[in-house]
Copies of this chain bind each other. A is one copy, B any other.
Amino acid sequence: MTDDIKVAVGMRIKEIRLALGMSQEELAFKSGLHRTYISSIERGERNISIINIQKISRALGVRPKDLLP
């Protein structure tokens, strides 16, 4: 049960990133997070915090709530 939100958020971030034609490196740079961390988030492996949700949403140009189910 608890893993589904990690997977859902990871898929959502990847979906928006790819739609923007943005690489993981670029998203990492724009959000101030490490590329390997972005990669593990997208694989649904991270119980990410709201501050990092905010950093990623800003880098993608969407609202924080847009990254959650």
Contacts and interface: CB of A to CB of B under 8 A. Distances in A.
A43 interface: no
A66 B2 CA distance: 18
Copies, count = 2
**Interface size bracket, A side:** 10 to 19
Contact of A68 (B2, B6, B48, B53): B53
A13 to B, nearest CB: 11
A9 B64 CA distance: 11
A63 interface: yes
A54 B2 CA distance: 8
A36 interface: no
A65 B67 CA distance: 8
